[in-house]
Amino acid sequence: MSTPTRPAPRAVALVLDGHSRAAAETVLALPRDVEVHVSAASDDCLCFASPRVAQRLRQPADPAEFLVWLQQLDAQHGYALIVPVTETSLIALKSHAVPAALRAKAVIGDEASIDVALSKDHTVRVAEGLGIRVPKGRLVTDAAAVTTAASFPAVVKPVHSKVRIDGHLRTIEARICADEQARQAAFREMLPHTPVVEQEYFAGRGVGVEALFEHGEPRWVFAHERLHEMPLTGGASTYRRAIEPPAAVREAALALLRHLRWHGVAMVEFKVSPDGQDYRLIEINPRLWGSLPLAVGAGVNFPLGLLRLATGTPVGPQPRPTRCRYMRHVSNDVRWFVQSWKRRHDPLLVKRLDAGDFLGLLRPLWGAERWDLFRWNDRTLWWAATRDLFQGITNRLNRWRAGRAARANWSRLAPDWRAGRIERVLVLCYGNICRSPVVGLMLADALPGVQVRSAGMHPKTGRTSPAAWAETVRDTLSVDLADHRSQQAGEADMAWAQLVIAMDTENWEAIERTFPTHLPRVTLLSAMAEQGGGSEVPDPYNKPGPEMRAIAETIRRCVSRAIGAFPLRPGSPG
């Protein structure tokens, strides 16, 4: 009697950085007989919604902790494939100090090659040496080297898109600057954290050449054109189509990756002139990309190719394309339509809204178009991703409603404010550690005849302000938060106040839920500043330095206008 053979164990794949849409597409694209584990830095992870995910893991943010954690996981599960979806995990894995077996499972190449791809300046210099057309530009490493631009528009981009700011890995986006003011602002934001490349502006359509390489040799090559981009002046695609790229563009991409002896996946990005006769290299994306769903939908399954490389299985010839030639990121493309209409007169728009964009909405009817993350046999990820669209619409309606109510309240309260009859003011935000104490101290300093308190909705009291925010407002607003400790707003505080000033619509809604009878005395700081109900003072908590400074300036502007409407009394600073 023969002994029954045991089935071979299932291959197990780990998809890192599960918050990204490329990770979600990877989960859907891997074969059904592969057990998929996903890790993310927080529980608010898109991929966790998929029933395909067998294990949902918390990914450490610290690079050293991440590597120890990953090696322990690999020892436990024996992963066949590890997918570093974003630069966060790629940067942690690229070092030669990482065990070779782990790097092989991640299907990544030489550290020096990855470093070239991660640096826009190094990429341009290598490309120039290969005769590839690149934008004219210069490297700026110091604010003193910033001179006046020769012409506009000008492109200002960080050498490294991912930089560590305040202990967190942050993304800094390139800027297309229409004037000197925008250009100088871009330098001020970027230079404290990374060298900057300033380049000529090359008008053209965005084209990406995507490739799977095996130790310096291309195995699969695919290309797409960006039809709709966000931001509108150039960025990630919200709608794209599969194309056969101009021969010069395809050869430039392959020559660059061959020179780097690339291993794994990459997308080389270009701007191509409208007639297709000229181009400029933009950058190398050294990991899976946001437009991955189009390649998979068209039959070129890059995650499957990675699995074959990781397991030593022959990759095989490039798959034949399917009928699907278009792919749409539904929620972001709705935003593209709205923004394109609002900014239809902007001379820097890459693409202008026309009748063809509306006719294109019919392509799914004959199978030429699909939607990112949508599968008939697994619609959970698409619904989870599309919820953001409906949540955004709901939030916008709530902001409009709260702004309208705040303006109405302020119209009724403003005469008493201007006449000096309001003498008790409560300033409120969520935590009472960032915005409300700053506004409260500024109002108290400017209006000594008015009693000003600040409070929040957070139940924990006695908290100090974050050090980075305290430093920002000390330097920009001359406000000292050293002695401030948070307080929770109560019924007595609300009853005491003749005027309650909230910072944003979330604060408004919290007051509406908790203290509905006091809502007629509540307004927004932006309404007092006559900036319109749609303007808010954003929460600076855990934001990078440039955003904190921008929020501090918003507070300065709003408080100044609010104080300007108040009659200065004897003893008030004038």
For residue 516, is it left (φ>0), alpha (ψ between -120 and 50) or beta?
Answer: alpha
* pTM (2 d.p.): 0.74
Does residue 182 lie within any of the structural domains? no
CB 132 within 8 A of CB 252: yes
The reported pLDDT for the residue numbered 162 is 77
* Judgement on whether residues 259 and 280 belong to the same structural domain of the protein: yes
Core vs surface per residue 49-61: b (16+ CB within 10 A) or e = bbebbeebbebbe
* Judgement on whether residues 117 and 97 belong to the same structural domain of the protein: no
Identify which of 212, 244, 209, 224 has the alpha carbon closest to the alpha carbon of residue 318. 212
Q: What is the dihedral of CA 12, 16, 19, 22, to 10 degrees?
A: -80
Which of 271-285, 487-501, 525-539 tops mean pLDDT? Answer: 487-501
Helix (H) or strand (E) holding 183: helix 180-190
The CATH number of residue 467's host domain is 3.40.50.2300
Quote the tokens at residue 249: 């563009």
- The label of the residue with tokens 């061959």 reads 258
Parallel/antiparallel/unpaired status of strands 369-371 and 451-456:
unpaired
Number of alpha carbons in the 13 Å side-chain half-sphere of residue 343: 16
Q: What is the mean pLDDT of residues 487-499?
A: 96
| Percentage of the residues of the chain whose pLDDT score is greater than 70 | 94
For residues 243 and 206, give the distance between their C-alpha atoms in angstroms, rounded to a whole number. Answer: 12
Whether residue 374 is predicted with pLDDT greater than 70 in this model: the reply is: yes
Does residue 172 lie within any of the structural domains? no
Sign for the CA dihedral angle at 296, 242, 373, 77 comes to positive
Q: What is the dihedral of CA 74, 76, 77, 79, to 10 degrees?
A: 20
* Judgement on whether residues 319 and 409 belong to the same structural domain of the protein: no
Final residue of a domain: which of 346, 377, 408? 377
The reported pLDDT for the residue numbered 567 is 61
**What backbone torsions phi and psi does residue 371 show, to the nearest 5 degrees?**
-110, 140
Identify the three-state secondary structure at position 19: coil
Angle, helices 120-129 vs 247-259, to 10°: value is 110
| Percentage of the residues of the chain whose pLDDT score is greater than 90 | 56
CB 231 within 8 A of CB 177: no
Residue 531's pLDDT band, with cuts at 50, 70 and 90, is low
Does residue 174 lie within any of the structural domains? no
* Judgement on whether residues 327 and 412 belong to the same structural domain of the protein: no
For residues 289 and 372, give the distance between their C-alpha atoms in angstroms, rounded to a whole number. Answer: 13
Final residue of a domain: which of 341, 356, 377? 377
Does residue 420 lie within any of the structural domains? yes
pLDDT tens by residue, 149-178: 667 888 888 888 777 766 667 778 888 888
Does residue 315 lie within any of the structural domains? yes
* Judgement on whether residues 219 and 351 belong to the same structural domain of the protein: yes
The reported pLDDT for the residue numbered 1 is 44
For residues 468 and 474, give the distance between their C-alpha atoms in angstroms, rounded to a whole number. Answer: 10
- Rounded to the nearest angstrom, the gap between the alpha carbon of residue 2 and the centroid of all alpha carbons in its chain is 59
Q: What is the mean pLDDT of residues 104-112?
A: 93
Which of 14-18, 123-127, 184-188, 202-206 has the weakest average pLDDT?
184-188
Give the largest Cα separation in the chain, rounded: 106
**Residue 452, strand partner residues:** 425
Which of 75-89, 189-203, 448-462, 463-477 has the weakest average pLDDT?
189-203
CB 458 within 8 A of CB 430: yes
Identify which of 402, 400, 397, 396 has the alpha carbon closest to the alpha carbon of residue 507. 402
The reported pLDDT for the residue numbered 570 is 42
* Judgement on whether residues 356 and 423 belong to the same structural domain of the protein: no
Residue type, 396: R
Beta strands in 344-412 (DSSP E): 369-371
- Rounded to the nearest angstrom, the gap between the alpha carbon of residue 444 and the centroid of all alpha carbons in its chain is 37
Q: What is the mean pLDDT of residues 184-199?
A: 85
pLDDT tens by residue, 325-367: 999 998 889 889 988 998 888 887 878 899 999 999 999 888 8
Residue type, 428: L
Parallel/antiparallel/unpaired status of strands 35-40 and 53-58:
parallel
The reported pLDDT for the residue numbered 166 is 63
Contacts of 434 (CB under 8 A, 6+ apart): 465, 466, 469, 539, 540, 541
CB 127 within 8 A of CB 134: yes
* Judgement on whether residues 131 and 221 belong to the same structural domain of the protein: yes
- How is the beta sheet containing 451-456 ordered, strand by strand? 451-456, 424-429, 499-502, 522-524
Identify the three-state secondary structure at position 112: helix
The reported pLDDT for the residue numbered 171 is 77
Higher pLDDT, 386 or 514: 514
CB 425 within 8 A of CB 453: yes
For residues 278 and 271, give the distance between their C-alpha atoms in angstroms, rounded to a whole number. Answer: 9
Whether residue 378 is predicted with pLDDT greater than 80 in this model: the reply is: no
For residues 146 and 140, give the distance between their C-alpha atoms in angstroms, rounded to a whole number. Answer: 7
Domain holding 33, by residue range, is 11-106
The reported pLDDT for the residue numbered 574 is 41
* Judgement on whether residues 343 and 399 belong to the same structural domain of the protein: no
Which of 231-240, 247-256, 275-284 tops mean pLDDT? Answer: 247-256
Q: How many domains does the chain have?
A: 3
The CATH number of residue 94's host domain is 3.40.50.20
The CATH number of residue 256's host domain is 3.30.470.20
Whether residue 545 is predicted with pLDDT greater than 80 in this model: the reply is: no
Beta strands in 172-204 (DSSP E): 175-177, 196-200
* Judgement on whether residues 229 and 370 belong to the same structural domain of the protein: yes
Whether residue 543 is predicted with pLDDT greater than 80 in this model: the reply is: yes
Q: What is the mean pLDDT of residues 518-540?
A: 82
* Judgement on whether residues 102 and 117 belong to the same structural domain of the protein: no
Which of 54-63, 299-308, 424-433 has the weakest average pLDDT?
54-63
* Judgement on whether residues 243 and 291 belong to the same structural domain of the protein: yes
For residues 293 and 301, give the distance between their C-alpha atoms in angstroms, rounded to a whole number. Answer: 9
Contacts of 19 (CB under 8 A, 6+ apart): 40, 41, 42, 44, 45, 46, 47
Whether residue 456 is predicted with pLDDT greater than 60 in this model: the reply is: yes
The reported pLDDT for the residue numbered 102 is 93
Which of 215-224, 246-255, 260-269, 565-574 has the weakest average pLDDT?
565-574
Does residue 229 lie within any of the structural domains? yes
Residue type, 494: M
Does residue 1 lie within any of the structural domains? no
* Judgement on whether residues 209 and 335 belong to the same structural domain of the protein: yes
- What is each CA distance from 243 to 253, 408, 564, in whole angstroms? 15, 53, 58
The reported pLDDT for the residue numbered 539 is 93
Whether residue 534 is predicted with pLDDT greater than 50 in this model: the reply is: no
Final residue of a domain: which of 88, 106, 124? 106
Does residue 188 lie within any of the structural domains? no
Return the ∠ at Cα 216 (arms to 211 and 221), rounded to 5°: 20
Residue 198's pLDDT band, with cuts at 50, 70 and 90, is confident
Average pLDDT, the chain: 88
Q: How many CB atoms lie within 10 A of CB 496?
A: 14
For residues 52 and 415, give the distance between their C-alpha atoms in angstroms, rounded to a whole number. Answer: 60
